A and B are shown apart, each in its own frame.
Chain A
Amino acid sequence: MKMTLICRILLPILLLAGLTACGPIEPWVKPYERDRLADPIMALDPDPVSTAYIHHVFEAREGSRGGEGSAGGGCGCN
């Protein structure tokens, strides 16, 4: 009984997960929905020269380093 219940619930989920893994992932935010992300105020690092300088100021006075870099915006707005 318990086995049947588990099979009924889990099997479709596993099957669906398996099918999703095989197919392409559909972007859940379409390109035409990215106007807000394309706004300059949403840039994670709009001023690279200033960012490099202030990282310099902090790293010269702190024991820590790294982990605050710019790893891309990825908004695909252009």
Chain B
Amino acid sequence: MNCRRTIIIACTLLFAAAGTAAAGVLPDDRADILYHLYDGGGVQIDGPSILVRKKVGKSVSFVANYYVDMVSSASIDVVTTASPYTEEREQMSLGMDYLRGNTTMSVSFTNSEESDFTANSYSFSVSQDMFGDLTTLTMAYSLGDDEVRRSDDDTFVREADRQFYSIGLTQIITRDLIMGLNVETITDEGFLNNPYRAVRYADGTNPVGYSYEAELYPNTRTSTAVGLRARYYLPYRAAIQGEYRFYTDTWGILSHTGAISYTHPWGPWTFTGKFRFYTQDQADFYNDLFSRSEATNFRARDKELSKYVSQDFRLQASYELFKDGWSFLDKGTVNLIYDQLLIDYDNFRDLTTGALVGEEPLYTLDAGVYQLFFSFWF
């Protein structure tokens, strides 16, 4: 659940930042209709995402996004400690960009609702083009308020708030090379647990050799991420991009993310292949099997806080629908993206095998992520 909170703020900032793709000009009017499907690890999540962006006059642009996750879950966590469930999450974002000279100011609001969780976030960013438009500097601030509930306990209500600070710099290096640097710090305070999740501890009195108790996380968290991207135009009209991100936080998680992608246009088609590699160390208070009940002040068995390596392979095909326009549309594209996600956990074990306690095989996740979307510019 703590993941969802960050995602909501990330979406808010993303749409705000997308509006400042070039601070001296407003982004193009466009509409995107996307269907997404995630299938892996006993979990299926699908739904639509619709975005519309429209200029009003020469200096203001509005953007709205509606997003839905329909979840059907029988994940490894669910089958070992709870019952399969279905739920729905709806998210609505609204934003506005105001252009004045070489400066773009953006505000946005996002609301996310599900049966046991409500999140609101408010974002503000300023972008400035400098040095003959070779450099764009963006500063953003976001504030998030969450309410966490339990579906089986009407009296359970907890709060959390979050502040998000971001500085981005995009720099043209040569006529073929552009680079982007992002530094983001996020601070959380409040109830940061998932209220349903449990840790397991060794228990000789239980026939299976272990029992469960509720997770307990610290009430604060501060993280810093530094990301660097570079995109290079190849001589035969193709593009190659490299990315690296370093991440660290006060929970002890340290991660590295690297990615490389290649884009190749061919007539009305554009093909992209991408490989993304991710590795992280575990949080200080993570353990797959605690030695006893309440063994440590804080405790977690959330596999997202464990140590693991993740790889993602992506293929994307885009087809330009009407290059010379049609009716009020300037152009359109239809896009299909497939991601193959593989995660190998180093210290999260698969308890469904019935092996001896502490000797269960390590869990692996193999998921397919599908996106089909239409984009129209008008």
Out of A29, A48, A53, A60, name the residue touching B15 (CB < 8 Å): A48
CB-contacts of A53-72 with B (<8 A): 53-72
CB-contacts of B216-244 with A (<8 A): 223, 225-227, 229, 231, 233, 237-239, 241, 243
- Contact between A64 and B225, CB atoms less than 8 A apart: yes
- Contact between B373 and A63, CB atoms less than 8 A apart: no
Binds B, one of A3-11, A14-22, A38-46: A38-46
Is B347 part of the contact surface with A, judged by Cβ < 8 Å?
no
B interface size (C-beta, 8 A): 93
- Contact between A66 and B175, CB atoms less than 8 A apart: no
Q: For the complex formed, measure the closest distance between the CB of A49 and the CB atoms of chain B, giving whole angstroms.
A: 4
Is A13 part of the contact surface with B, judged by Cβ < 8 Å?
no
By secondary structure, the A interface counts as: loop
Give B33's nearest chain A residue, CB to CB. Answer: A49
Is A1 part of the contact surface with B, judged by Cβ < 8 Å?
no
Q: For the complex formed, measure the closest distance between the CB of A56 and the CB atoms of chain B, giving whole angstroms.
A: 5
Q: For the complex formed, measure the closest distance between the CB of A24 and the CB atoms of chain B, giving whole angstroms.
A: 8
By a CB distance below 8 angstroms, the chain A residues around B340 are none
Once A65-B186, A67-B227 are accepted as A-B contacts, the answer to whether A72 and B23 lie under 8 Å apart by CB is: yes
By a CB distance below 8 angstroms, the chain B residues around A49 are 32, 34, 49, 51, 65, 373, 375
- Contact between B136 and A47, CB atoms less than 8 A apart: no
Out of A27, A52, A60, name the residue touching B133 (CB < 8 Å): A27
By a CB distance below 8 angstroms, the chain B residues around A71 are 17, 136, 138, 166-170, 180-182
Give B229's nearest chain A residue, CB to CB. Answer: A44
In the complex, the 6 A-B pairs of residues with the closest C-beta atoms, listed nearest first: A71-B168, A76-B133, A67-B225, A27-B132, A74-B136, A66-B184
- Contact between B138 and A36, CB atoms less than 8 A apart: no
- Contact between A69 and B32, CB atoms less than 8 A apart: no
By secondary structure, the B interface counts as: strand
Q: Which of A48, A51, A63, A73 has the most CB of B within 10 A?
A: A63
Q: For the complex formed, measure the closest distance between the CB of A13 and the CB atoms of chain B, giving whole angstroms.
A: 22
Q: How far is the CA of A62 from the CA of B2 in the complex (A)?
A: 11
Once A36-B176, A50-B373 are accepted as A-B contacts, the answer to whether A44 and B170 lie under 8 Å apart by CB is: yes
Out of A26, A41, A62, A74, name the residue touching B170 (CB < 8 Å): A74
Q: What is the count of residue pairs linking A and B with beta-carbon distances less than 8 angstroms?
A: 239
- Contact between A74 and B245, CB atoms less than 8 A apart: no
Q: For the complex formed, measure the closest distance between the CB of B285 and the CB atoms of chain A, giving whole angstroms.
A: 12
- Contact between A63 and B283, CB atoms less than 8 A apart: yes
Give A71's nearest chain B residue, CB to CB. Answer: B168
- Contact between B182 and A62, CB atoms less than 8 A apart: no
Q: How far is the CA of A50 from the CA of B50 in the complex (A)?
A: 10
Is B363 part of the contact surface with A, judged by Cβ < 8 Å?
no
- Contact between A68 and B182, CB atoms less than 8 A apart: yes
Out of B7, B127, B305, B375, name the residue touching A63 (CB < 8 Å): B305
- Contact between A75 and B133, CB atoms less than 8 A apart: yes
CB-contacts of B240-275 with A (<8 A): 241, 243, 245-247, 249, 251, 253, 255, 257, 263, 265, 270
Out of A34, A40, A47, A72, name the residue touching B373 (CB < 8 Å): A47
- Contact between A48 and B280, CB atoms less than 8 A apart: no
27 of the cross-chain contacts (CB-CB < 8 Å) are A42-B231, A44-B178, A47-B335, A47-B375, A50-B32, A51-B14, A52-B11, A52-B15, A53-B49, A55-B10, A56-B11, A62-B280, A64-B253, A65-B6, A65-B223, A66-B185, A66-B225, A70-B14, A70-B21, A71-B166, A71-B169, A72-B168, A72-B180, A73-B178, A74-B22, A74-B172, A76-B24
By a CB distance below 8 angstroms, the chain A residues around B129 are 74, 76
- Contact between A57 and B38, CB atoms less than 8 A apart: yes
Give A74's nearest chain B residue, CB to CB. Answer: B136
Given contacts A31-B132, A67-B247, A72-B20, 12 further A-B contacts (CB under 8 A): A28-B134, A33-B175, A39-B237, A41-B263, A50-B34, A60-B304, A64-B257, A72-B17, A72-B127, A72-B170, A74-B134, A75-B172
